[in-house]
């Protein structure tokens, strides 16, 4: 089986090649993202293996199909970048890695919370300049604070448990409450109430039509003064210009983003020699109370090992049986 691996960095190649031992697929690694401009590279590959910022819209899928591709193997959980109705119409298969290390993403989420609160990013630079002043570094105890978790699937559930460990009151919003969390004193409430009562709002839901711009001018207005918002889900869950307004007015006191709506042009690349052309991202980076990380929440040894192994097993399953437990369909059955 010929597999074209797009968006592949040296670390992807390392982990995927290691996992390929038992499978023996013929792997070809392409560094560019899969887009309409690069889709020609996939000509003749039965499987393409892609990541979060590869664009599998109708035009790309048509070209892939015409070139002989039948299997799309996502090296990620989210599948918002794939036009599923077109996949189904063309009779292709899409497989994903539904859970690789929820701990990786949850722990990074908590890392952002701690860093924003205790201003560790500012302390790091300050101390290296010989400035040991504490002025401006005042934080708050997490103990006793209210944390609102939007989306309590694999990742959100771990975030909720960690925050319970800090002694926080945890509110949750999810159309499908998690029984285990309910038994651990997590209170499922309406989204409006979660937004109104939370000191920290963490976004751990997928990007769907319902969650696109869930954080917008209107919902920000309903949040607590000085709220902390952390988004490690998908960029478009947040309306970025609206959060910039919220930061300028002080309604939002802290913002942690691992994902950004327009990240595809920047994230995973070294752009340090370029002029930053995205004015929204540039503005975000000026705030002392904003931390942006470049979609690295998943980036742990355990997660990359699990992603590589599951991805190749998914391909093997589809090749052998025509189906796979990790197949993505237009209307996925709820777990
Ligand atoms: P999951 O599928 O286990 O959980 C998602 C949860 O969100 C489900 O319980 C679902 O019922 C809930 N949900 C769906 N619609 C909702 C809505 N309108 N409001 C509130 N909750 C809603 O997914 P998992 O593994 O927890 O991942 C969540 C998201 O995190 C992924 O979809 C992906 O976008 C993102 N992610 C980000 C990574 C990163 O490196 N920053 C890595 C992995 C995932």
The owner of tokens 């990359």 is 304
Angle at 168 between CA 163 and CA 174, to 5 degrees: 65
What is the per-residue pLDDT across 165-208, written as a single tens digit (0 to 9) for each?
999 999 999 999 999 999 998 999 999 999 999 999 999 999 99
The closest alpha carbon to 4, from 33, 182, 80, 124, belongs to 33
Query: Residue 259's closest CA among 335, 306, 204, 329?
Result: 204
Distance CA 106, CA 98 (A): 15
Residues 9-45 pLDDT 10s: 999 999 999 999 999 999 999 999 999 999 999 999 9
Token match 């910022």: residue? 53
Q: Which residues contact 334 (CB under 8 A, 6 or more apart)?
A: 176
Choose the CATH number for 2-100+301-321 among 3.40.50.300, 3.10.20.30, 3.40.50.720, 3.30.70.1150.
3.40.50.720
Cβ–Cβ under 8 Å, residues 168 and 144: yes
Give the residue carrying structure tokens 């910039």.
244
pLDDT above 80 for 63: yes
Q: Whose CA is nearest to atom 44 of ligand 1?
A: 77
Residue 124 phi/psi, 5-degree rounding, is -60, -50
Residue pointed to by tokens 């819209």: 57
Active site residues: 234, 263, 295
Q: State in Å: Cα 205 to ligand 1 middle.
A: 3
Domain positions in the chain: 2-100+301-321, 102-292
Q: Can you give the pLDDT at residue 331?
A: 64
Tokens of 244: 């910039």
Q: What is 102-292's CATH topology?
A: Rossmann fold (3.40.50)
Rounded percentage of the chain residues whose pLDDT exceeds 90: 96
Evaluate if residue 334 carries a pLDDT over 70.
Answer: no
Helices within the chain (DSSP H only)? 10-19, 58-66, 84-90, 102-118, 120-128, 154-165, 179-183, 191-197, 217-221, 240-249, 279-284, 301-321
Name the token pair of 293: 């990380």
Ligand 1, atom 37, lies closest to the CA of 233
Query: Ligand 1: which of 7, 206, 232, 234 to mutate, judged by most atoms within 8 Å of the beta carbon?
Result: 206
The pLDDT value recorded for residue 147 is: 98
By most ligand atoms within 8 Å of CB, the mutation choice from 52, 77, 232 for ligand 1 is 77
How many helices (H) does the chain have, and how many strands (E)?
A: 12, 12
Pocket test for ligand 1, best of 101, 107, 150, 151 (most atoms within 8 A of CB): 151
Predicted local distance difference test score (pLDDT) of residue 330: 77
Q: Which residue has the tokens 């040296």?
A: 10
C-alpha–C-alpha distance, residues 164 and 81, integer Å: 33
Tokens representing residue 140 in the block: 């708050």
Question: What's the pLDDT at 235?
Answer: 96
Q: Which residues pair with 231 in a beta bridge?
A: 203, 257
Pocket of ligand 1 (CB under 6 A): 77-78, 99, 102, 105, 150-156, 173-176, 204-208, 210-211, 232-234, 258-259, 295, 297-298
Residues 15, 305: contact at Cβ < 8 Å?
yes
Question: For residue 228, which of 313, 321, 112, 134 has the smallest C-alpha distance?
Answer: 112
Tell me if domain 2-100+301-321 and domain 102-292 are identical in fold: yes
Q: How far is the CA of 26 from the centre of ligand 1 (A)?
A: 32
Three-class secondary structure of residue 106 per DSSP: helix
Q: How far is CA 283 from CA 136, 242, 313, in A?
A: 21, 12, 42
Nearest CA to ligand 1 atom 36: 233
Distance of CA 232 from the midpoint of ligand 1 (Å): 9
Q: How far apart are CA 173 and CA 82, in angstroms?
A: 26
**Nearest alpha carbon to residue 244 among 265, 259, 229:** 229
* pTM exceeds 0.85 for this model: yes
């Amino acid at each position: 089986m010929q597999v074209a691996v797009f968006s592949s960095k040296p670390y992807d190649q390392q982990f995927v090649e290691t996992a390929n031992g038992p499978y023996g697929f013929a792997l070809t690694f392409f560094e560019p993202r899969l887009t309409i401009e690069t889709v020609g590279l996939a000509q003749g590959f039965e499987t393409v293996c892609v990541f979060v910022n590869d664009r599998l819209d109708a035009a790309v899928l048509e070209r892939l199909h015409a070139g002989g591709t039948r299997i799309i193997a996502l090296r990620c959980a989210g599948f918002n970048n794939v036009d599923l109705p077109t996949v189904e119409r063309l009779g292709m298969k899409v497989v994903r890695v539904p859970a690789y290390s929820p701990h990786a993403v949850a722990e990074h989420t908590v890392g952002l919370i701690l860093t924003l609160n205790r201003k560790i990013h500012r302390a790091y630079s300050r101390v290296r300049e010989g400035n040991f002043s504490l002025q401006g570094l005042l934080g708050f105890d997490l103990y006793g604070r209210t944390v609102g978790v939007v989306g309590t699937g694999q990742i959100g559930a771990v975030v909720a448990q960690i925050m319970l460990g800090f002694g926080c009151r945890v509110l949750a919003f999810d159309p499908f409450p998690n029984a285990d969390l309910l038994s651990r004193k997590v209170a499922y409430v309406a989204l409006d109430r979660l937004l109104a009562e939370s000191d920290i709002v963490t976004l751990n839901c997928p990007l769907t039509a319902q969650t696109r711009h869930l954080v917008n001018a209107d919902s920000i207005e309903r949040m607590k003064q000085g709220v902390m918002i952390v988004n490690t889900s998908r960029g478009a869950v947040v309306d970025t210009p609206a959060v910039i307004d919220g930061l300028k007015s002080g309604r939002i006191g802290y913002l942690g983003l691992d994902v950004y709506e327009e990240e595809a042009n920047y994230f995973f690349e070294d752009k340090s020699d370029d002029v930053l052309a995205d004015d929204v991202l540039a503005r975000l980076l000026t705030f002392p109370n904003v931390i942006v990380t470049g979609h690295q929440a998943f980036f742990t040894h355990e997660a990359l090992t699990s992603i590589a192994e599951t991805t190749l097993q998914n391909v093997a399953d589809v090749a052998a049986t025509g189906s796979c437990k990790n197949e993505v369909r237009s209307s996925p059955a709820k777990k």
